[in-house]
Amino acid sequence: MGIEINSIARGLLLSGTRVLVAFCIGSTNTFLPGGHIEIGEKAEDSLIREFKEELGITITVKSYLGAVEQTFTELGKYHHSINHIFLVESDDIIEEPISKEDHLDFLWAESDDTYKMILFPSPLQDLISGFIGGSKDIWRQSDMK
């Protein structure tokens, strides 16, 4: 079995208590928008690029919230990802987000609904609820046992 280690930038974009989430069409789980950090690219720049590519919107990175480690197996390949999570804002927020990429879709979810929507990495569910509830803790979680 092959191993892949990834560094990913993800953005927490809020509208009130709603969270913008993404999902691959045909998948059962959701995730925060963002993507792989390219070699030589700052994490914040990666996030700005990904939001523009995937949604066509411009974001401002406000703060670093922390990191969430994730592991999973897909198509016989073991993946180990470090997800760097940033709080982001945008003046381009739209009520019905439209994906610019054929394999992705986006929707607004109430923060409590992320449990029902199988938000990955799973520690994000509690971290987002805590953040919206006023927690200022730096995020450092893992789904590894």
User: How many independent structural domains does the chain possess?
Assistant: 1
Q: Is the pLDDT of residue 42 over 60?
A: yes
Q: How confident is the model at residue 1 (pLDDT cuts 50, 70, 90)?
A: low
Global model pTM greater than 0.75: yes
pLDDT of residue 3: 67
Distance CA 86, CA 12 (A): 6
Q: Which domain holds residue 97?
A: 2-142
CATH number of the domain at 39, please.
3.90.79.10
Question: Phi/psi class of residue 94: alpha, beta or left (left: φ > 0; alpha: ψ in -120 to 50)?
Answer: beta
Q: List the structure tokens of 65.
A: 């919230």
